[in-house]
Amino acid sequence: MKILLVSPAFHGYWHAIANALTELGHDVTTHRYDAPNLRGRITNAVAQRVQGVMARRAAESASELAVAALRRSAPDAVLIVKGDALTATWWDALTRSRARSAVWLYDELERMHYDVETLGSLGAVMSYSPSDVSTLRNRGISASHLPDGFDSLTAYTSRPSSRVSFIGARYPERERLLQMLSASGEDVEAYGREWSRHIWDVLRTRRWEGSGVRAHRDVTRADYYGVMAGSVATLNVHGAGHDGLSMRTFEAPGVGGLQLIDRPEVAAHYDVGSETLVFTSDDELLDHLARVRRDPKWAEGVRTAGRARTLAEHTLVHRMRKAVALWG
């Protein structure tokens, strides 16, 4: 099929999804609705920083650019990732195009701006959140659960380290856990602009105070794949307010990293204890790390089993195969 992928630029996942669709034999055109070109980047920046009339105009401009991409590509099907920043101008044009359509939501509904009418007009609705899938079905919308996945098509180089790594935003519970580990004698490091003490990152995030743990700037996906693969262990902390499992849930074991995750429900995808490790308290997290350092042969077995399970079931190619199947 000729598929138009309409996605945010977030961490380059648009590229990973496009590659997965191409791997399945489809002809893919991509449009990043929040950063398609200089004009798009400017309008997206405005939309994030202003309110009222200016914000609506910025969103409308971004939607017009998406409509132009739709007309140029004349696709058989359109896959929208997230997409809640787009206005009725886009959704009306999509309906008139008669292309098959689907949306993949990788955030919770309560943090997005969607109405039932818009989602109900789409050919397929998929969400990474099991709870949101139930909510949508209760509202009469045919929704499917499509978890996040691992980009198995991106090359990376392992970066061996004796440290415990964390890659992601600086939320309070994440900061607390890293500080706890550091105070307990663990050598930890965090990656991301909100952790970084680089002057530019401090100015743009307004994080005037450091976390007290070793911190690095943002890195590319290929680089953080290497960090997770080489770390003695890597943390995956969702915290409160997130129902679905993050991309990191599948990326960490996918690269052969030893994942320490705070979500017992990961058992729906991995065998807990032999393919990934779950912690529900500080003491349990410390116990896991003590065993990881004490028994490297066991730790290597968890890494190997987690990677094998991911490559067999949890890549973005697997996810896109399921998404395309919904179009029939």
Tokens matching residue 47: 């939309």
Q: How much is the pLDDT for 74? A: 96
Q: How much is the pLDDT for 54? A: 64
- CA torsion, points 227, 230, 232, 235, in degrees to nearest 10? 30
User: pLDDT under 50 in the chain at which residues?
Assistant: none
Q: Where in the chain is the domain with CATH 3.40.50.2000?
A: 2-146, 164-313
Residues 6+ apart with CB under 8 A from 101: 77, 78, 79, 80, 94, 122, 123, 124
Q: How much is the pLDDT for 264? A: 96
E strand spans, 58-203 = 77-81, 100-105, 124-127, 143-145, 164-167, 188-191
Q: How much is the pLDDT for 11? A: 84
Q: What is the pTM of this model?
A: 0.92
CATH superfamily ID and name for 2-146: Glycogen Phosphorylase B; (3.40.50.2000)
Q: How much is the pLDDT for 45? A: 54
Q: How much is the pLDDT for 35? A: 72
CATH superfamily ID and name for 164-313: Glycogen Phosphorylase B; (3.40.50.2000)
